Amino acid sequence: MRLNPIKIGDFTLPDNLFLAPLAGYTNAVFREMCSQLGAGLTFTEMVSAKGLCYGNEKTQDLLYITESHTGITACQIFGADPGFMRRACESEALAPFGIVDINMGCPMPKIYKNGEGSALLENIGLAEKIISECKKSGKTITVKMRTENEESEYTTQDFAKMCEAAGADMITVHGRTRDKIYSGDVNLKEIAAVKNAVKIPVIANGGIFDPSTASAVMKKTGADGIMIARAAMYNPWIFSEITGKDCGDKRQTVLWQLKKTRDLYGERFACVYMRKMVGFYLKGHKSSTSLRSKLLSCKSCGEVEEMINSIQL
């Protein structure tokens, strides 16, 4: 993959390999870990603009940044009200974030039915107003979108051109339509078409699970960078594999993640979360099924730690 620094709005990032927003997974500790492993930029889980404006405590918890995390910080917000979206960008909660990403690609029914996420791909006027209002906050604004469904009134390129004209500093394109959710082939031609349609940086997303597919996607789309999503859940070391950065001892990295997660979020959350994460990391392990079963029976972080020390990562 072609690695290089990339300028997004007011910021120059160390490389063009990003960690996607992943609901339920990209908490502060995981983001810091992926950054240490080579990700040039990481995003928070998607955060409700209205939740921020109303001071929802759980919403604000998603925005925590570890004290030891260095580098540029980015968050992703979602909503369908331009006023709330701008207020969220200007809120004290988002003050630490230089980059705000607008979710215009989430396919989940509860988001789509509220007119948010990927529903905005079908309402280009509203989407344009949201971007332009968010841009008034003075933040660097990016957009994460999908390719259009067959019944869409606008092409993917039309939507991307609108994003640029409205003030977006970068576009990430997930190369699947909303109805495909996260399955099926990724339409690399559509990502390439977006790259050719706009002058701002375009990041390719979808179906990237190893260094070879990352290189292939970059070559076939001409994109300015790559965003890794689900692959990072199973193998956060993919960032080191692509960048060539020394990833260190994997076991020590996972033990660090466990300790940091427990210190920050408490015993109960850390136990449940790390059981799940270590289970992901075991993908491809010859005894993964039995080991995952043992993990699920762990009732404390101490037991999870014992499991981590007993397996080959």
85-136, pLDDT tens digit by residue?
Answer: 999 999 999 999 999 999 999 999 999 999 999 999 999 999 999 999 999 9
- pLDDT for the residue 182: 84
Q: Kindly report which listed range (41-45, 59-63, 73-77, 109-113) carries the lowest average pLDDT score.
A: 59-63
Strands (E), the chain: 6-8, 11-13, 17-19, 41-48, 74-78, 99-104, 140-146, 170-174, 202-205, 225-228
Measured CA to CA in angstroms, residue 289 lies from 243, 251, 286, 308 at distances of 31, 19, 8, 15
Domain definitions of the chain by residue range? 6-243, 250-310
Question: Exposed, middle or buried by CB within 10 Å (0-12, 13-18, 19+), for 28?
Answer: buried
The fraction of the chain above a pLDDT of 90, given in percent, is 86
Find the catalytic residue in 106, 163, 298, 301. 106
- pLDDT for the residue 286: 83
Phi and psi at residue 290, to the nearest 5°: -70, -35
pLDDT surpasses 80 at 150: no
Looking at domain 6-243, its CATH superfamily turns out to be Aldolase class I (3.20.20.70)
What's the pLDDT tens digit per position in 153-175?
Answer: 889 999 999 999 999 999 999 99
298 is an active site residue? no
pLDDT surpasses 90 at 71: no
Q: What is the mean pLDDT of residues 39-48?
A: 96
- pLDDT for the residue 61: 84
Q: What is the mean pLDDT of residues 274-283?
A: 95
